[in-house]
Amino acid sequence: MKKKFYSWEEAMSLREVKSLKKLNHPNIIKLREVIRENDILYFIFEYMQENLYELMKDRDRYFPESVIRNIIYQVLQGLSFMHKNGFFHRDMKPENIMCNGTELVKIADFGLAREIRSKPPYTDYVSTRWYRAPEILLRSTSYNSPIDIWALGCIMAELYMLRPLFPGTSEMDQLFKIISILGTPNKDEWPEGYQLASAMNFRFQQVVATPMEQVVNTISKEGMKLMMDMMIWNPEKRPNAQQSLRYKYFQVAEKLGAPVVSQPAPGTVRKTSANSVKSDTKAMTAKAAKKDYVGSENVSPQQPSKLIERHANRNLPLNRASLFENTETKPLAPTKTNDTKQSAKEIYLSKSKYVPGQVSKDAGHNQIMTTNGLTGATKTTNFSAKKEGRTAVQTRFEYAYGYIPNFGAKPSATNHHPNNHSNTSSATNPAVGNNKMSNSGRVDWAAKYVK
């Protein structure tokens, strides 16, 4: 809150706090905590993923009518509870309807909420312009809960079209857009509207109503009936939230309303995880668990107490010592022995399929184990690279591929003389001789296949 609050009494007298303290419903956002720090007030609400506007703006195809029906049903449930308890919202719009996907929606932002029994006059600037009822646009100061029903009718049309129904740029333009679709209101049906219009020197245009089927062409007849009744010019003739829930639009063979998880029994206090030994999943699916998870701890005592491994650590009681009491099950993991813990290098060497140049610890001299890259045979060689006259390149190559290459030998005086022959270099350079001996075990692929 931007305003400074210098006492708790001042903070608790806020309309939003007063209304949310009284409104405990699955389709109304829950105020978890109020914090006042350095005269600044912070509200902590329950977490919701997104609002209805964010849910609509990223859509590239229309919502199924069953999804829209469930959303409108839940909003009407929240409005019915709110109006029944003496409050009306005054700022219904998609941004103030929070969602967890399309399965759960909750009404939020009660900053403009008022009590129905409070005395007029009310301010004429409420709600976002596109969802503002005509009586507010005509500067009425004695409006009431029907303005929430009008706003919901506009939201319902927007859910079907994925765009606003009356996107006015000003209050007068908003009225003109409403008249262009709904037509000019009948003076006999709404005399108060003409009185409000004459008081502000406004004259209704004589316009024939546009068939709503041309504007919202994906809605069913039952949905059209509900939506048009919500947007009747005369607020006294609009159905209230409880009456709207009885429309034929909701009489379908579908499950409507918030999920069971978000509907706690009235008057009950949910136990925290620290005070409960049962998780929410176990409490709600106890019957299903007895059928689906045969042998788990949820099974009745008549069945054999066979413990399934993946359920062993589920819903652990607070006293872990009694977890496996009176059971004959095998431990899920082997018991730890007193073996010394291996170092990271030992674990790496034990896991590696081939470790080039591994030096054995058992021998008193250098033993180098090498693997032939062609045959896969491993041999142990007792020599030193320096004594054998090999370079680091030759030694590493042998570690990797199992034989000594001809390249990478140390240059000598005889190697650079142009008159020296290969047999001379073999006699003078022991490394070359060793190369030939080591290479004799290689497969001569050219001789084998090229004849």
* Candidate list 39, 58, 60, 91, residue with the active-site label: 91
Distance, CA of 167 to CA of 174 (rounded, Å): 7
Handedness of CA 383, 388, 393, 399 (dihedral sign): negative
Could you tell me which residues are beta bridge partners of residue 45? Answer: 31
State the first-to-last Cα distance of the chain, in angstroms, to the nearest integer: 91
- Determine contact, residues 97/156, Cβ cutoff 8 Å: no
Tokens of 306: 């066979």
Count CB atoms within 10 A of the CB of residue 353: 5
- Annotated active-site residue 91? The verdict is yes
Query: Phi, psi (5° rounding) for residue 179?
Result: -65, -35
Q: Up-side HSE of residue 364: CA atoms within 13 Å toward CB?
A: 0
- Assign residue 39 a region (left: φ > 0; alpha: ψ between -120 and 50; beta: otherwise): left
Distance, CA of 317 to CA of 312 (rounded, Å): 11
Helix or strand or coil: residue 150?
A: helix
Residues assigned a catalytic role: 91
